[in-house]
Amino acid sequence: MKLERICDAIREMELGRKISVRSLAREMDVSEATAYKAIKKMEEDGYLETLPRAGTIRVESPKEKKLESITYKEVLRIVDGELLAGEGGLDKTVSRFNIGAMTLDAMKKYLHPGGLLIAGNRDDVHLLALSSGVGVLVTGGFSAEKKVIEMADRLKIPVISTSYDSFTTGSLISRAISEKLIKSTIPYVGDLLKKAPAYLRSDDTVRDFKALSEETDYEKFPVVDHRMKVLGVVSTREVVGKRDDESIEKVMRKVAVTYSPRATVSHIAHVMDWENLQLCPITEGDRLVGVITRTDILKALQDRDTRPMEKDTLEDRVIKDMELERLDGTYSFKGYVKPDMLDPYGNASNSVLSMFMVKSAMTVLENRFYSCTMDSVSLDFMGSLEVDSEFTVEATILSSGKNRSKIGMKLLSKGSTISVGTLSALHTPEVRE
């Protein structure tokens, strides 16, 4: 599509570039009307911003902003710390971390403004860090000298104390950054929300629906009252065969389903499939702030597939080292029992093995559909596994409909059946190509 091609070109533009409808239309060889639609769409997505007297500028969108860094305030929370000085700089972003386990001369080349130095009870190190524009995280529960505190307050650079040692402190911060990276790959409704949506009021008529549909080229609209509270949704399906003077409130489909922009796209996909909704109103409090459609969700889930996770989740690590084979409609996942999978008695934990079986079954479905949610699972165990035992999880699709599928699971080791079960899942009707 022309519109998507132009949007892709805007995403590739360097930050700060100024564009206009006329210049974009000429550059992309499209009509000014098409260029205008593309600019408006990218403004909604946060890639463009129109500033007074400056025009339309390519800016960094929320999707592009890196979340690897955290603020001093977040560090204070992560390490259960005490703020000793520099409160005025708590909201500043930490650009890098260093552990001060070296001589002063060796340390100098690693200190850059905006960083954070993790060090013990070394006042000379604290002063060197502050003079370099670097915050200080004092480990071991130590405090700081008066001159360090005075300097930090004057420069507005935080000095934090924690009872943890340097290794534990570094691990806690590293884990927090990892979790933040994982969250950054999750698509949220607010990332693709259609703001300032077209809508109808409850006292409008079918005639008003037809006029708005012709004006916007949309076929589905939220219905609100005079306070912008969502009452329902209306589409072409509801107005077919109705008189032009029929009230929208009488023909609309009442919905109790509204979500905030902070909801995840995958959760909304599950709800819309379950409720058979083509459009879901998005609200802040009771007020309508936008809408999301099934098409928006499918596109977001497709985009997610093109961006690998920055960090592995627990489920990813569960199946990461397993080998996958497919034969006559059966998927086989092969692995072995590692020491960290054992229960207190030295056998493979049934809880961990259950996770393997469920993840294997869900992987089969996730390779076919864009959004899958486990609905129910039933497992029976009739054996146990020792450490280093090799095992195979076999997953077979027993039935698959438009929105629901059932998977049969079997856990085998050395020719013996360790566990059997079934899993039911809900999913989007759209099948991966």
CATH of the domain at 377: 3.10.129.10
Q: Does 218 lie in the same domain as 158?
A: no
Tell me whether residue 260 is in a domain.
Answer: yes
- Which CATH number characterizes residue 137's domain? 3.40.1390.20
Owning domain of residue 214: 189-303
Q: What are phi and psi of 216, to 5 degrees?
A: -105, -15
Going by C-alpha positions, the residue among 425, 293, 284 that lies closest to residue 367 is: 425
Q: Does 92 lie in the same domain as 163?
A: yes
pTM: 0.47
294 vs 254: CA distance, rounded Å: 18
For the chain, 433 residues long, the average pLDDT of each consecutive 10-residue run is 81 83 89 88 82 74 58 91 93 85 83 89 92 93 93 94 90 79 72 80 93 89 91 90 92 82 81 78 86 80 55 63 79 89 90 90 84 88 92 92 90 94 84 59
If you compute the radius of gyration of the chain from its CA atoms, what whole number of angstroms results? Answer: 28
- Which CATH number characterizes residue 246's domain? 3.10.580.10
Tell me whether residue 389 is in a domain.
Answer: yes
7 vs 401: CA distance, rounded Å: 35
Q: Does 129 lie in the same domain as 28?
A: no
Q: Does 173 lie in the same domain as 196?
A: no
CA atoms within 13 A on the CB side of 197: 28
Domain count within the chain: 4
| pLDDT at residue number 316 | 66
Of the residues 155, 184, 213, the one at which a domain ends:
184
Please tell me whether residue 221 adopts helix, strand or coil conformation: strand
Tell me whether residue 119 is in a domain.
Answer: yes
Tell me whether residue 309 is in a domain.
Answer: no
Largest Cα–Cα separation, the chain: 85
Tell me whether residue 200 is in a domain.
Answer: yes
Sign of the four-CA dihedral 315, 318, 319, 321: positive
| pLDDT at residue number 99 | 86
Q: Does 334 lie in the same domain as 298?
A: no
| pLDDT at residue number 181 | 66
Q: Does 345 lie in the same domain as 293?
A: no
115 vs 152: CA distance, rounded Å: 14
Please tell me whether residue 207 adopts helix, strand or coil conformation: helix
Tell me whether residue 257 is in a domain.
Answer: yes
Q: Does 47 lie in the same domain as 78?
A: no
| pLDDT at residue number 66 | 47
- Which CATH number characterizes residue 6's domain? 1.10.10.10
User: Is residue 128 within 8 Å of 135, Cβ to Cβ?
Assistant: no
Helices (H), 88-191: 104-108, 123-131, 146-155, 166-184
Helix axes of 265-275 and 294-305: crossing angle, nearest 10 degrees: 140
Q: Does 319 lie in the same domain as 298?
A: no
Of the residues 163, 184, 205, the one at which a domain ends:
184
Helices (H), 198-327: 206-216, 236-239, 248-251, 265-275, 294-305, 314-320
Q: Does 418 lie in the same domain as 331?
A: yes
| pLDDT at residue number 308 | 47
Strands 404-413 and 416-427: antiparallel
402 vs 360: CA distance, rounded Å: 21
Tell me whether residue 65 is in a domain.
Answer: no
Q: Does 219 lie in the same domain as 246?
A: yes
| pLDDT at residue number 157 | 94
Tell me whether residue 432 is in a domain.
Answer: no
Of the residues 236, 271, 303, the one at which a domain ends:
303
Q: Does 422 lie in the same domain as 361?
A: yes
| pLDDT at residue number 67 | 43
Q: Does 338 lie in the same domain as 320?
A: yes
Burial of 167 (0-12, 13-18, 19+ CB in 10 A): exposed
Please tell me whether residue 320 adopts helix, strand or coil conformation: helix
H/E stretch holding 231: strand 230-235
Please tell me whether residue 327 adopts helix, strand or coil conformation: strand
